[in-house]
Structure 1
Amino acid sequence: MVEGKITNQLRTLRFLAGEMTQAELGERIGVTRQTIAAIEQGKYSPSLEAAFRIARVLGKSLEEVFQWTE
């Protein structure tokens, strides 16, 4: 099995998107603020659907928001 880690630029991109709060982003994609916080901290990996929604709300590609390293 290949081990990998998903990292993200979520906090930076939220700030650049008019200082959007975790709660605002969560509301726009249909998850809680706590879920956004956990994703930002790398404690939780979003579903593929949630990842695409986050990228779309931030106006970025999936790869600009999330990175995967082996």
Structure 2
Amino acid sequence: MNLPQKILAEISVVTRDIEENYPELQQHLDETWSTLPHGSNDSNSLNEKDLKNYLNELKAIRDKYKEEH
């Protein structure tokens, strides 16, 4: 499994955690996903940096919520 696939797998785990344990945060999933570049699915439009940024945003939203509640 290459690094982008590992990042996507981790994104899936964090997303599932949010959906199952913090459903009130689901509205943020669409908002953060919209920050990724649009276009074709080739490697130029969705790169490793973009995926890492998205993963970090998801974790930050979840962790901030956990701290506050």
TM-score by length of 2: 0.41
More strand by share: 1
- Bigger Rg, which one: 2
TM-score by length of 1: 0.40
More helix by share: 2
